[in-house]
């Protein structure tokens, strides 16, 4: 893949006048670009810091235009993220949604209104959010206010979501046909129609769930021939009903079979004619990375003409053996593998949540870093041609020597790097940085030499 170096789009002559003088001056900054602040630290007011990149609020502060049809549908659940300091290169974990005791995401902090506002912001600064992750397990027995619960969204809420160009991506957690029909009717009443494709993930990861047992209960026998057959029968009933409801209400619901383990795909998977897309709930850690890549290769061999959707994509950035750098390298491997799937990837939802920080006895943080978000955006433009190696604007270490590359391009901040040497040895001048900051209507500039610590 050809990755073009993006030149600076504004005059740097004034900044570069001090180039030779600055090279010989003692004002040299030694940075550890991968330093990480402990995971337990939580930072507020993150988006107001002009010299930082926070999660999806990154390089340009505006969404990159997307391919309307061919590009995968990239969606984000940004509950937690990382803040990257442009001054010192450190990374700090950040809570975008307040922490709550003994609960992953408290409904008081994550209502449908909050969720919709976040979706609107992401559409302006990162990517248009076409598929909005929700879960649906039963008809409501009491009022529910959690934005991740389909029941919490009124018909009017869904109409507003549709007006934004978004639609639910529903994780169906019941095989009850009456409940499924109620879901379809609600979507119809909200105005969704044949031009609004809606993915419904039917009872995913059955090998570890109650509906994967012989009698569909938590105490039923699992991993038996009878359990496999019972799940496939129930899946078939729901899938066929969804097809009838599409015709009755003029909907475009796509049935998804989704798994995460080898047993899900080998033993529980229903016949291919019963689902439109193959889902893979993808959570990658140092402990399962190799098995995950092998599973992805197996899906590519056995289901080459079934499009892939990733309802939940998490890569560990903290936990045993995990770090932001490890996560960045691993995400590159995952995206390369997804790009090779013959039928392509129709969509994926980033699960950016610091589970370890929010719940006791949990080991992993799935909160994404700004570099990971930018990597995904770059991959989205050309999944089949994207390469992990080579030039990437979000990673200055990949820059060619002697070229001025526009690293940050915001209305109030522009940063240009010129790479000075290939060597990454401590103390060796590696980058020349020119920084322009808009303050009180005037542009000020600052230059420095950066070395690795």
CA distance 186 to 273: 26
Average pLDDT of the chain, as a whole number: 86
- CATH class name, domain 46-381: alpha beta
* Gyration radius of the chain's alpha carbons: 24
Q: Name which of 200, 140, 191, 194 is nearest 161 in CA terms.
A: 191
How far is Cα 258 from Cα 295, in angstroms, rounded to an integer? 13
pLDDT band at 4 (very low <50, low <70, confident <90, very high): very low
- Asked if residue 440 has pLDDT above 60, the reply is yes
Can you give the pLDDT at residue 424? 77
Q: Are 213 and 185 in contact (CB under 8 A)?
A: no
Q: Check if the beta carbon of residue 203 is closer than 8 Å to that of residue 211.
A: yes
Across the range 82-97, mean pLDDT stands at: 91
Q: Which one has a higher pLDDT value, 229 or 425?
A: 229
Q: Kindly tell me if the per-residue pLDDT of 42 is higher than 50.
A: no
Residue 37's pLDDT band, with cuts at 50, 70 and 90, is very low
Question: What is the predicted pLDDT for the residue at 70?
Answer: 63
How wide is the angle at C-alpha 394 spanned by C-alphas 391 and 396, nearest 5°? Answer: 65
Question: Cα 74 vs. chain centroid, distance in angstroms?
Answer: 7
Q: Quickly state the pLDDT bin for 62 (edges 50, 70, 90).
A: low
Sheet-wide strand order for 413-419: 28-31, 442-452, 429-439, 413-419, 404-409
For residue 34, is pLDDT > 50?
no
Say what the pLDDT of residue 5 is: 38
pLDDT band with cut points at 50, 70 and 90 for residue 412:
confident
Give me the pLDDT at residue 426, please. 81
Query: pLDDT above 70 covers what percent of the chain?
Result: 86
Q: Could you give the CA distance from residue 1 to residue 392 in angstroms, rounded to a whole number?
A: 11
Residue 174 structure tokens: 């019941």
* CATH 3.20.20 domain range(s) in the chain: 46-381
Q: How confident is the model at residue 452 (pLDDT cuts 50, 70, 90)?
A: confident
Q: Which two tokens stand for residue 257?
A: 């079979």
Contact 221, 213 (CB under 8 A): yes
pLDDT for residue 364: 96
Cα 151 to Cα 186: distance, rounded to the nearest angstrom: 10
C-alpha distances out from residue 131 to 196, 256, 400, Å: 10, 14, 37
- pLDDT higher than threshold 70 for residue 8: no
For a pLDDT cut of 90, what percent of the chain falls above it?
67
Whether the CA torsion 94, 97, 101, 102 is positive or negative: it is negative
Retrieve residue 23's tokens.
């090279």
What pLDDT sits at residue 61? Answer: 56
Q: What is the 3-state secondary structure (H, E, C) of the chain?
A: CCCCCCCCCCCCHHHHCCHHHHHCCCCEEEECCCCECCCCCCECCHHHCCCEEECCECCCCCCCCCCCCCCCEEEEEECEEEEEECCCCCEEEEECCCCECCECCCCCCCCHHHHHHHHHHHHHHCCCCCEEEEEECCCCCCCCCCCCEHHHCCHHHHHHHHHCCCEEEEEECCCCHHHHHHHHHHHHHCCCCCCCEEEEEECCCHHHCHHHCCCCCCCCCCCCHHHHHHHHHHHHHHHHHHHHHHHHHCCEEEEEEEECCHHHHHHHCCCHHHCCEEEECEEECCCCHHHHHHHHHHHHHHCCCCCEEEEEEEECCEECCECHHHHHHHHHHHHHHHHCCCCCEEEEEEEECCHHHHCCCCCCECCECHHHHHHHHHHHHCCCCCCCCCCCCCCHHHCCECCEEEEEECCCEEEEEEECCCCCCCCCEEEEEEEEEEECCEEEEEEEEEEEC
The Cα 336–Cα 384 span in angstroms is 8
């Amino acid at each position: 893949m050809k990755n073009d170096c993006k030149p600076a789009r504004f005059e740097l002559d004034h900044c570069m006048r001090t180039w030779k003088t600055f090279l010989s001056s003692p004002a040299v900054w030694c940075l550890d670009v991968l330093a990480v602040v402990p995971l337990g630290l939580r930072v507020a007011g993150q988006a107001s810091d002009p010299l930082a990149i926070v999660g999806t609020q990154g390089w340009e502060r505006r969404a990159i235009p997307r391919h309307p049809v061919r590009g995968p549908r990239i969606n984000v659940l940004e509950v937690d993220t990382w803040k990257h300091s442009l001054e010192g290169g450190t990374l700090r974990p950040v809570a975008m949604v307040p922490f709550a005791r003994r609960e992953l995401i408290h409904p008081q902090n994550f209502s449908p209104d909050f969720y919709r506002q976040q979706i609107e912001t992401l559409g302006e600064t990162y990517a248009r959010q076409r598929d909005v992750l929700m879960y649906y397990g039963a008809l409501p027995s009491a009022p529910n206010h959690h934005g991740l619960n389909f029941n919490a969204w009124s018909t009017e809420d869904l109409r507003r979501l549709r007006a934004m160009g978004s639609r639910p991506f529903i994780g169906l957690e019941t095989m009850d046909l009456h409940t499924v029909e109620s879901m379809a009717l609600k979507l119809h009443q909200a105005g969704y129609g044949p031009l609004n494709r809606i993915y419904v993930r039917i009872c995913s990861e059955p090998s570890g769930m109650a509906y994967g047992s012989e009698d569909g209960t938590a105490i039923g026998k699992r991993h038996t021939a009878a359990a496999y057959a019972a799940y496939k029968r129930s899946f078939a009933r729901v899938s066929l009903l969804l097809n009838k409801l599409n015709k009755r209400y003029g909907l475009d619901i796509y049935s998804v079979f989704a798994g995460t383990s080898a047993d899900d795909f080998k033993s529980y998977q229903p016949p291919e004619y019963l689902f439109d897309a193959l889902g893979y709930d993808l959570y990658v850690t140092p402990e399962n990375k190799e098995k995950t890549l092998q599973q992805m290769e197996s899906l590519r061999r056995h289901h080459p003409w079934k499009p892939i959707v990733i309802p939940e994509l998490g890569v560990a950035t903290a936990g045993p053996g995990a770090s932001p750098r490890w996560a960045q390298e691993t995400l590159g491997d995952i995206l390369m593998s997804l790009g090779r799937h013959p039928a392509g990837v129709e969509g994926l939802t980033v699960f950016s949540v610091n589970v370890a920080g929010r719940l006791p006895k949990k080991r992993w943080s799935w909160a994404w870093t700004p570099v990971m978000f930018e990597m995904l955006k770059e991959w989205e433009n050309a999944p089949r041609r994207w390469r992990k190696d080579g030039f990437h604007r979000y990673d200055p270490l990949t820059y060619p020597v002697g070229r001025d590359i526009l690293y940050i391009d915001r209305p109030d901040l522009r940063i240009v790097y010129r790479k000075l040497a290939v060597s990454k040895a401590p103390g060796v001048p590696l980058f020349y940085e020119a920084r322009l900051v808009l303050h009180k209507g005037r542009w000020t500039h600052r230059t420095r030499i950066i070395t690795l610590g």
